[in-house]
Amino acid sequence: MVTAIHRKTIQNSITLRGIGVHSGKMVTLRLHPAEANTGLIFYLYKGTQKIRIPISLDHVVDTSNATTIGDGSSNRVQTIEHLLAAVHTLGITDCIFEIDSVEVPIMDGSSLPFWEGIRSAGIRVLDETIEPITISNPIWVVDGDKYLVMLPSDELKVTYSIDFNHPLLRGQSYTTTLDESILGTDILPARTFGFLKDVEALQARGLAMGGSLDNAVVLTDDGYLNETLRYDNECVRHKILDLIGDLAVMGRPFRGHLIASKAGHALDISLAKCIMSQVTGNELTQFKSRRIPLFAKKQATR
């Protein structure tokens, strides 16, 4: 039996500022409290326009380098996963995000500044409840040698493996439970990472202009450009961060044992769609099973 939990919003509005990893320009992000059942919604400010973009699977429009949502036209907000990882960790179900750029600020490359910002704003527990997503059967997605599986579990757990063509990132794996405490201390501070040769190629195309050692772990051909890491296996921990942030687009808390190998944003969102498809079907079946006896009883009394 799934136990419903209370919905949450933030207690006070907060403002976070940082550069956009691609534009290199300053971005202002404001978070505001919301009423129960509002969900998570972006308002993108473009000049005098205020464009509403709900955070949902239906609004995901790109997963090539980050997770991007849009309104069906040209209006988009990208790199939402680090923010959402912090939102999920703190159980925030209802919040308004106002932003003046098409990308969420990269901050220090992790979810830590968002987590700290939300905690400083305070969290308000709402009267209404929401049921966490749980599954009764394994769900998986596969793309060549990449795969992502969710197994039934009463708690949130992850087993994640990466295998890049780099002497420090071959066969790196990490397994852990993911309660709020562990996420906050062991996962959310892990920074995004990239390869120096790829960063140089992106910058030649006018992208990753805000990327630096202040907000990313950068790998050379045989080591790290950074002097220190936050964890010995910071890269695989960041992949877990991305996975949690991507699955948070489902808009509900979730439980299960996630098993990933060389996954990424595209596979994360594909799994989220499969999960929601199964959950929606199960919940509709449960609803019908509750309604049919009542309907049959009414028919019998006619």
Binding annotation for Zn(2+): 82, 238, 242
Q: Rounded CA gap, 76 and 65, in Å? A: 14
Q: What are phi and psi of 150, to 5 degrees?
A: -125, 120
User: Tokens 């790199």 appear where?
Assistant: 79
User: Tokens 């709020």 appear where?
Assistant: 180
Q: Rounded CA gap, 284 and 253, in Å? A: 19
Q: Which helix (H) or strand (E) holds 141?
A: strand 139-143
Hey, what are 271's tokens? 């799994």
Is residue 166 part of the annotated active site? The answer reads: no
Binding positions are 82, 238, 242
User: Tokens 């040769």 appear where?
Assistant: 197
User: Tokens 């129960």 appear where?
Assistant: 36
Hey, what are 267's tokens? 């596979």
Q: Parallel, antiparallel, or unpaired for β 76-78 and 68-70?
A: antiparallel
Active site residues: 265
